[in-house]
Amino acid sequence: MLKINTTRSALLACAAVAILGACSGADGVASPGVGAFVPAPSTPTPTTPTPTTPTTPPGTPAADCPAGFSNVGTVSNQRICQLPSTITGNLVVPARDGTIYSISGRTQVGTDQGPNPLSPLVGSAAGILTVEAGVTIFGNSGLDYLLVNRGSQIFAEGTQTNPVIMTSRQNVEGTATDTSIGQWGGLVIAGRGPTTDGCTTAAVTPPNIACEAQVEGTNGFYGGNSTADNSGRIRFLRLSFSGFELAPGNELNGITLAGVGSGTTIDHVQVHNSSDDGIEIFGGNVNLKYLVLSGEDDDGFDLDSGWRGAAQFGIVYQRTGGGDRGFEASSRGTNTTDFFSRPTYSNWTIVARSSATTGRALTFNSGHTGRVYNSVIAAADGSTKQCVNLDGAVTLTNVSYGAAGATTPTGPLFNSVFLSCPGGSYHGSGTLTDTQVQAQVEAGANILVGTSTLTGGFINGANETAVPASTFPTFLNTGVGLSGSATTNFLTPVTYIGAVQNASDTWYQGWTCGIPGQPAC
């Protein structure tokens, strides 16, 4: 969990790219050649791409690139077609035989249109990036990353047998290994959802259009008061070998979601071998489903800055000899009781594996009152990590989350959770003791400490199956700045705990890599 001074971040980001090009506003590391695009409206409207007909013989690079892309050579018998550094209007990345796509430097979709959708910043422009199923996009180095700015959208929609792939050049060349990390930047999406960051006076409380901040690892901005903001759709996306430290304390994650609203669709997404977090969320109301976070060198799932959404059906499978926490949650900025981070998690399986350091599989820090339902937290392969850590700054009041419309946050709530960590089930830090943490967790329903019977790394066994599932209350995420129905209607009612019910539950198969039962990345 990173605490970033936004002004300092901008300077550090500029310093990091100084060797490659100027750093100012929307400028970044330039790509050779920018195609012509139709000027975009302030609020983009997705278009349906025209199907393409493959004409290139298998194993042969395409002769050229589609209009709007730069031909920058070949790699692994494929033509490299580079995306422009700034995408405005509509750009489709088509699936073509003999073609692979690259980004160079800070590649942005649109330019920042500001926090108010009714009044875009003067001179700004929106963009829509559509990535067809089966397309591979790679970065050459840690300074190469894709940024979707406020007011723009990305539609990267693969299928279970033909996912969209974002990865490193080394992976394309076949030189990446099981331990490779940090070979390119990653994906950043900035939206107009509420954030606790950037509220400059105590009188300003989210959601407020005055609360905006710089996205970690970039010079882009996020925030606003549009809880249902729509940044597009991402489905069946596999992103690997990402994350990069631009400067100490200023890193790119696998996927960064900053101020992303509940109108955005994110499901069936894997982040594998990120050098920082797998997915990190800063504020917003985005909901996520069917996630695989594997091999990260920091946290699998990290959240901050007042996020108020839900995440259901997720696997965190840590790397051997690395990885920090499976989950880390807090809230920085305006850390007031009426706008803590207040997310809902259900049907997660967090597997901490052997590591050179001890730690915790799940940590809740200050300003966080999340609820955990129907989940499994385990340590395997000799890991000595503890299951649940609550920091002393967490407010422990009442595990009942309050009646509909309540705005006063309470302590974290755990219902139907199976814990199996040989290093210990509970850990208190700061002003909290292990006993206090145990009391808080076990005040919930159906809490069981036992021996893991997970098979295949993360598939429920007899002991996990024996834990009854809990239903969701109807007042999830009601209160100030929230859209209660967006979360309540998003969650799928279940009769089991954990991410993978049994061997017949195959939602993660066919589009993932690098985890038990799936091919290498």
User: Which pLDDT value is given to residue 338?
Assistant: 64
Q: Which residues pair with 145 in a beta bridge?
A: 106, 186
Neighbours of 317 (CB within 10 A): 25
The predicted model gives 351-367 an average pLDDT of 82
Confidence of residue 59 (pLDDT cuts 50, 70, 90): confident
For residue 363, pLDDT over 80 is answered with yes
Q: How many CB atoms neighbour CB 516 within 10 A?
A: 12
Same-domain status, 301 and 336: no
In a domain, 318, yes or no: no
| Residue 8 banded pLDDT, cuts 50, 70, 90 | very low
* Among candidate residues 178, 273, 268, 181, the one with its CA nearest the CA of residue 520: 178
Residue 290 and residue 399 in one domain: no
| Total number of domains in the chain | 2
Query: Residue 53 falls within a domain, yes or no?
Result: no
Bridge partners (DSSP) listed for residue 344:
310, 371
Using left for φ > 0, alpha for ψ between -120 and 50, and beta otherwise, residue 500 falls in beta
Do 219 and 279 fall within a single domain? yes
Residues pairing with 194 in the sheet: none
- CB of 185 within 8 A of CB of 145? yes
Neighbours of 113 (CB within 10 A): 24
Task: Classify residue 376: in a domain, yes or no.
Answer: yes
Tokens of 87: 């995408």
Statement to judge: residues 243 and 368 lie in one domain: no
d(C-alpha 166, C-alpha 186), whole Å:
8
User: Would you place residue 36 in the very low, low, confident or very high pLDDT band (cuts 50, 70, 90)?
Assistant: very low
Q: Note if the bond before 207 is cis, omega within 30 degrees.
A: yes
The pLDDT value given to residue 205: 78
Count of beta carbons in the 10 Å neighbourhood of residue 337 = 13
Residues 274 and 214 in one domain: yes
Lowest mean pLDDT segment, chosen from 38-42, 183-187, 446-450: 38-42
Classify residue 511: in a domain, yes or no: yes
In a shared domain, residues 261 and 357: no
The verdict on residue 326 lying in a domain is no
222 & 97 share domain:
yes
Q: Which of 255, 273, 307 is the last residue of a domain?
A: 307
Which span out of 321-335, 427-441, 493-507 was modeled with the highest average pLDDT? Answer: 493-507
Instruction: Tell me: pLDDT of 337 over 80.
Output: no
The two most distant CA atoms of the chain are separated, in Å, by 67
**359 & 489 share domain:** yes
User: What number of other Cβ atoms are within 10 A of residue 409's Cβ?
Assistant: 23
Q: Quick one: 409 and 283 in the same domain?
A: no
Q: pTM for the whole thing?
A: 0.87
Nearest to 294 by CA among 304, 279, 307: 279
Cα angle at 248 between 237 and 109, to 5 degrees? 35
The band of 434, judged by pLDDT with boundaries at 50, 70 and 90, is: very high
Domain that holds residue 363: 332-521
Between residues 205 and 348, the one the model is more confident about: 348
Q: What pLDDT, on the 0 to 100 scale, is given for residue 301? A: 96
Q: Please tell me whether residues 120 and 165 are part of one structural domain.
A: yes
Residues 147, 21, single domain; the answer is yes
User: What confidence category does residue 22 fall into, taking pLDDT thresholds of 50, 70 and 90?
Assistant: very low
Q: What is the pLDDT of residue 459?
A: 98
* Whether residue 356 sits in one domain with residue 235: no
- Of 170, 125, 132, nearest to 149 by C-alpha is 125
* pLDDT (0 to 100) of residue 207: 83
